[in-house]
Structure 1
Amino acid sequence: MNSKFSIPSLIETSQCSPNQLIQLASNLPDATISIPSVDKILEAIEQGKADQVSKLDWVYCIHAKAQWDQQNIDRSRKTSAAIWKVAIYNSWLQHQLLWRLALYYGDWQEQVLAQSLAESFDIFAYDLVSHLLPVQIIRAFRSTQAGRELAKIACEQRVNRTELLNNIREYLPIWIPIFSNFIEEISPYFTTIRSPNQQQVRWLLSCLDEMSDSQQIKAVNHLLINVSNQAANNHSLLVDWLRRNYRNGENWYKLSDQARQRLREWIGGIKYGDFQKLVNLILNKLDLQDFESNRLCRRRDFWADYSNRFERLRILLPKTSQIAIGYQIQGDVDLLEDDGSDPTEVCIFDFGEWFVVEFFRGRGSETRLFQKNSRNEQILFGESTLSVKRIRCLGGDRHDHVYLWQEFSPTWLKNHGILPNPNTQPSKNPTTDKLRKREHSLESWQREIEHLEREAKAYCNKIYFLID
């Protein structure tokens, strides 16, 4: 029972005679009982005395207005408009009307508001108080896509569903069904934003985090299928959230086939973009010889055909490169330890089942392939200090970058289950003369890489010996 109200004690009539009651009544002062009426309240409004109308009278007026309208059809809209005009300056009346209007549009079974009051809402909404959040929400209720409009309001306010309801619980009945259902419109609304900014992406992630498992799966499926790859590439925050929550584990298998493919493309697009930016910065910031610049351009263009396959990317820079470009690269970027090797940048790609290590410059300048296991992952993505020689000590399968390497690398990758993006043009078959030239270059590279590997093993053995 509400503590604000108490039931008055009843008079024990059995102990009072009728004569005593008559005598008691005769001694009471004269009292005039005012019976509320809609006409009386409307008259007060017309006379500019609306401030003298009591709260009890207003409650009666709101309740009885529908019946009064039936008897005064020609005056129903005009008088309701007058009531809304009073509400502009009467916060208590505002609250009463907006609360009931929310129930009216929220498919509440009982008649809580006259139709004329609901239809006259614009008199209030388009006046001085049109900026009020409850007013914006009532407007959304009147839309044919109420849930979508509520999602838009939440986005503009930068609040998720819980925060929105906390902001309006004193003004509107937050328990009506429409407030529960609009969370399913969050993802569809977001996909209508042409160029979402960072704040809108953060809002989306806040909404996703508060959803139930089933709601989130449905929302993520919709996002992946309906947001373009180009838009996703502009928002690594969204892609990283999806990678953490959906790329591995049981959630991955709850996505549709189309959504899984799009997520692969999103992740790959972001990571390839980082790789592409690194190559471009090296070309612009470092003083390279022409053959080195050409080599880097070919690497950049080659891996573009595998952009959908990228899962993670780690960038390792020598000190000279870090000074020149290090602060312009975001993501997983670390300093490459100097072990006496030729200066080179190193990129480590995670392709799911395999790690690919790409050496950009220097002697050897190979691509190495390592099976994805806990040991290799810990070293290649977990250790803070790595060097060229330490990576070469891990072994793995290797491929050259000598003449015609672009024609032979796809076959090498395919043999390990790493396929290019769909619709990628196959490599051309080289002529006999070109093959002969490649074989000659390959022999020199083979001798060079074996020499570098021996140096690497000697270096690592020395390091391990000193540690022991």
Structure 2
Amino acid sequence: MNSQFSIPSLPETPQCSPNQLIQLASNLPDATISIPSVDKVLEAIEQGKADQLSKLDWVYCIHAKAQWDQQNIDRSRKTSAAIWKVAISNSWLQHQLLWRLALYYSGQQEQVLAKSLTQSFDIFANSDLVSHLLPVQIIRTLRSEQAGIELAKIACEHRVNQTELLNTIKEDLPIWIPLFSRFIEEITPYFTTICSPTQQQVRWLLSCLDEMSDSQQIKAVNHLLTNVSNDIANNHSLLVDWLRRNYRNGENWYKLSDQARQRLREWIGGINYSDFEKLVNLILNRLDLQNFESNRLCSRRDFWANYSNRFERLRILLPTTSQIAIGYQIQGDVDLLEDDGSEPTEVCIFDFGEWFVVEFFRGRGGETRLFPKNSKNQQILFGESTLSVKRIRCLGGDKHDHVYLWQEFSPTWLKNHGILPNPNTQPSRNPTAEKLRKREHSLESWQREIEHLEREARAYM
């Protein structure tokens, strides 16, 4: 019967006698099989031969140390301390121990490391050679009842946000442990414990806020606004500018608590008023003013201090003479006032929410003008790069004087337009009949002067 397939031929089986195998084995070099044990590791450490131990030896020792401790209770702490001392100069062993210690303290795996090794950690951590290392600092925090706050402090000291921190330590520690996802909620609570934060610490805070989820950020900003003093805000316009951009307008504004919204108004106003105050002080110090001009500027500076909470924005316009004298000492929105033949004066434009207030510091008239906040006025007063005294006066607006007793009457004028002073501001005094007559006389002259200036402005434009 013919088969369709042929059976392949197999090679012959080699004939090997037992004698040949014995001879082959006898020619092999002697080999000693080393079985890992905790005692072996400890003996090597005692003899100063820890560098001769294999990674397998160390892995077995770390794994079996807890059981070994039960049988050698009196030696458990001392031997664990010896292992940590070796880890100071052995980066591989260091990594093995720190990784397991992080898991132990986070409650992920309680049996991952012998208790004696966890108790001896400070022997290692207090060494000058390793105490500065970020993983070591982080594990110290894991033992704290305020681990989140402590970790936020470390992140601040190293100027890293959550993402940067995790990228830095991901090779050294298990970054999935709960603390690393929770500590971002402690960023603002930690920041509010800093008495006088530096510019670098503020930049760190903003970097952390920027990477938060919407809900995390809202919670953090609410806490920040209600727990940081106005003095700190006044010293860090960078922080206030970030809050103004992200929370003063739009839906985020309404997600803040009432208290937080009020504080943000105060912060923004405080920063802007401080720019106004600084401008007045520089003018007083740098320009050769007559006494009545200096007194007028001081009285305006002090008057508007009562409205600092309302300053949403500030634009400063300087004549050439003032810009040369003051130089670049004023930051913020500062522009050159176009020369239109008017007497030299500095001009400040305040954004008070629903109104724009324009202050003429010096020269004839020296009035305050009030304009409704509409798109046209906003474009002109805050949008046009070149403005002049006559250009502003041509816009009209409601006017108030700075003649005798003006401080007593201006608050009522502002209140009638919905502009209220800061809380706890002392009310205006009631002037006597004689003082009122003196004011009326001064007011008549001022009104004639303003009418003349406005005619000049219209003719010029």
Q: TM-score, normalised by structure 1?
A: 0.91
Q: Counterparts in 2 of 1:370-449, with a 5 A limit?
A: 370-449=371-450
Aligned to 2:188: 187
**Separation in 1 of the partners of 2:301 and 2:351?**
16
3-state SS of the aligned residue for 2:422?
A: coil
State the Cα distance separating 1:124 from its structure 2 match.
0.7
**Cα pair 1:402 1:438 within 8 Å, conserved:** yes
State the Cα distance separating 1:113 from its structure 2 match.
0.8
- AA matched with 1:95: H
State the Cα distance separating 1:34 from its structure 2 match.
2.8
**Separation in 2 of the partners of 1:56 and 1:376?**
78
Aligned to 1:294: 295
**Separation in 1 of the partners of 2:350 and 2:424?**
22
- AA matched with 1:359: F
Aligned to 1:79: 79
Residues 267-326 of structure 1, C-alpha deviation per residue, up to 9 Å, x if partnerless?
111111111111111111111111111111110110010011111111000000000013
- AA matched with 2:292: F
State the Cα distance separating 1:450 from its structure 2 match.
1.2
Aligned to 1:47: 47
**Separation in 2 of the partners of 1:50 and 1:359?**
82
Aligned to 1:34: 34
Mind listing any 5+ residue stretches in structure 2 that lack a counterpart?
Answer: 1-15
3-state SS of the aligned residue for 2:112?
A: coil
1:94 aligns with 2:94: yes
Distance change (3 Å), C-alpha of 1:454 and 1:24: farther
**Separation in 2 of the partners of 1:104 and 1:390?**
73
Based on CA coordinates, which of the two structures has the bigger radius of gyration? 2
**Separation in 2 of the partners of 1:384 and 1:424?**
36
- AA matched with 1:62: I
State the Cα distance separating 1:25 from its structure 2 match.
9.6
State the Cα distance separating 1:451 from its structure 2 match.
1.3
**Separation in 1 of the partners of 2:20 and 2:112?**
41
Aligned to 2:108: 108
Aligned to 2:166: 165
- AA matched with 2:229: S
**Separation in 2 of the partners of 1:327 and 1:104?**
57
Aligned to 1:253: 254
Segment drifting more, 268-277 vs 30-39 = 30-39
Q: Counterparts in 2 of 1:11-30, with a 5 A limit?
A: none
**Separation in 2 of the partners of 1:104 and 1:174?**
13
**Separation in 1 of the partners of 2:216 and 2:109?**
27
3-state SS of the aligned residue for 1:163?
A: helix
**Cα pair 1:317 1:326 within 8 Å, conserved:** no
3-state SS of the aligned residue for 1:240?
A: helix
3-state SS of the aligned residue for 1:440?
A: helix
State the Cα distance separating 1:448 from its structure 2 match.
1.0
3-state SS of the aligned residue for 2:328?
A: helix
**Separation in 2 of the partners of 1:454 and 1:65?**
96
3-state SS of the aligned residue for 2:111?
A: coil
**Separation in 2 of the partners of 1:101 and 1:156?**
23
Distance change (3 Å), C-alpha of 1:385 and 1:25: farther
Aligned to 1:56: 56
- AA matched with 1:302: F
Residues 421-441 of structure 1, C-alpha deviation per residue, up to 9 Å, x if partnerless?
001111011111111111111
Q: TM-score, normalised by structure 2?
A: 0.93
**Cα pair 1:354 1:372 within 8 Å, conserved:** yes
**Separation in 1 of the partners of 2:238 and 2:213?**
21
Aligned to 1:11: none
**Separation in 2 of the partners of 1:424 and 1:396?**
27
State the Cα distance separating 1:140 from its structure 2 match.
1.3
**Separation in 1 of the partners of 2:20 and 2:57?**
30
State the Cα distance separating 1:31 from its structure 2 match.
5.8
Distance change (3 Å), C-alpha of 1:67 and 1:401: same
**Separation in 1 of the partners of 2:225 and 2:424?**
21
**Separation in 1 of the partners of 2:20 and 2:313?**
91
**Separation in 2 of the partners of 1:221 and 1:190?**
13
- AA matched with 2:284: L
3-state SS of the aligned residue for 1:328?
A: coil
**Separation in 2 of the partners of 1:168 and 1:34?**
35
Q: Counterparts in 2 of 1:347-362, with a 5 A limit?
A: 347-362=348-363
Residues 357-399 of structure 1, C-alpha deviation per residue, up to 9 Å, x if partnerless?
0000111111011111111111111111010011111111111
**Separation in 1 of the partners of 2:247 and 2:164?**
25
**Separation in 2 of the partners of 1:353 and 1:120?**
65
Aligned to 2:148: 147
**Separation in 2 of the partners of 1:326 and 1:262?**
33
Aligned to 1:12: none
- AA matched with 1:84: W
Aligned to 1:4: none
CA RMSD of aligned residues (A): 1.8
3-state SS of the aligned residue for 1:327?
A: coil
3-state SS of the aligned residue for 1:281?
A: helix
**Separation in 2 of the partners of 1:171 and 1:219?**
29
State the Cα distance separating 1:352 from its structure 2 match.
0.7
State the Cα distance separating 1:110 from its structure 2 match.
5.0
Aligned to 1:322: 323
**Cα pair 1:81 1:117 within 8 Å, conserved:** yes
**Separation in 2 of the partners of 1:268 and 1:432?**
36
1:368 aligns with 2:396: no
- AA matched with 1:67: Q
**Separation in 2 of the partners of 1:69 and 1:312?**
69
**Separation in 2 of the partners of 1:112 and 1:125?**
19
State the Cα distance separating 1:35 from its structure 2 match.
2.3
**Separation in 2 of the partners of 1:80 and 1:309?**
64
Q: Counterparts in 2 of 1:159-238, with a 5 A limit?
A: 159-238=160-239
- AA matched with 1:338: D
**Separation in 1 of the partners of 2:19 and 2:281?**
104
**Cα pair 1:268 1:310 within 8 Å, conserved:** yes
